Amino acid sequence: MDIAILLADTIVQLTLMVIFGYLVVKAKLLKSEQSYPISVVGLYVISPAMLITAFQVEYSKDILTGLYLAFIMALVLSSLLILLGWIFKKTLKLDNIEQATSVYSNSGNLIIPIVASLFGTEWVIYSTAFIVVQNVLFWSHLRLLICGKGNVPFKKMILNVNIIAIIVGMAMFLLQIKLPSTIAGTLSTLGHMLGPLAMLVAGMLIASIPFKEIISDKRIYLVSFLRLILMPLILLVIIKLCGFSTWVENGSIIAMISFLATTSPAAATATQMALVYGQNAKKASAIYGVTTLLCVFTMPMIIALYQLF
């Protein structure tokens, strides 16, 4: 239950950040549309900094073995989420925003602080496996969902600064190339801004949506149910059946870290991309806001079930 309590505390902190973004707009200090340049900075500066920093750890055989498990789980779980998203799109008539926000979770902003607080910073590297896989999918599959087919040239996917940051970070880890302390410190400080910045942007966007529009839209609660309850429960059963926790030493902790990443709210990146690419950012931010508020209750509940079984 310690994990469930920690989850609730961390999520409340992030929710307060969303409220701050909301209040900035309501106080007329900024306008909702001014969140656009902030989103650009988050996607193209802060996100790459966080990805490179995540791989600046000491190499060891145990870490590498644990990373293998984390990456296998990230690939399996992400593939299952995409499959489930496609199934629910067909059966429940989800639009592109609904499908994107049901499939992709806010793992980067939420899981890293939880893992660091619960297990220690040395375990954060295992959370990067899911984040790395998800970032590749962010700039390929998610971007296709948001923009539509034919609007994302393959060359732009590969040459995206976030994909380049992942490749550079992994190469530096395998070759054990360490950044100079000044550069490493700069990138680390930037990376720590990713979560708060995404929360503020979401709050600014939510402020432009009439409250009645949020609470009266049944589709938002449908997507919230898929993202926070149904999909995590399906993945929980699969993880237990596959016995990932027995594959390597400390596999139980690594498996829980990977599962945690799938239980979080809708991805803030989906909201940012919808804003940058001129899609329905208001709907994406509404789903993000509702799932962020509801996950205070759902994530501890799901993790408690995971520990129980």
Q: Read off the pLDDT of each residue in 32-41 and give the average, rounded to a whole number.
A: 85
Shortest CA distance to 257 belongs to which of 55, 118, 53?
118
Check whether 152 has a pLDDT greater than 70. no
Return the minimum-mean-pLDDT range out of 92-101, 104-113, 170-179, 231-240: 104-113
Question: What pTM was computed for the model?
Answer: 0.82
Shortest CA distance to 17 belongs to which of 196, 194, 191, 189?
196
pLDDT band at 263 (very low <50, low <70, confident <90, very high): very high
Q: What is the pLDDT of residue 299?
A: 87
Q: Which residue has the higher pLDDT, 128 or 255?
A: 255
Identify the bridge partners of residue 266 per DSSP, sorted by sequence position: 105
Alpha-carbon distance of 117 to 250, in angstroms, equals: 17
pLDDT band at 2 (very low <50, low <70, confident <90, very high): low
Return the minimum-mean-pLDDT range out of 24-28, 53-57, 77-81, 298-302: 53-57
Give per-residue pLDDT as tens, 102-133: 999 988 667 777 777 778 767 878 888 898 88
pLDDT band at 10 (very low <50, low <70, confident <90, very high): confident
Q: What is the pLDDT of residue 272?
A: 78
Q: CA dist 279 to 169, 275, 282, Å? A: 31, 6, 9
Return the minimum-mean-pLDDT range out of 148-157, 174-183, 227-236, 240-249: 148-157
Alpha-carbon distance of 61 to 175, in angstroms, equals: 13
Alpha-carbon distance of 193 to 213, in angstroms, equals: 30
What is the rounded average pLDDT for all residues in the chain?
86
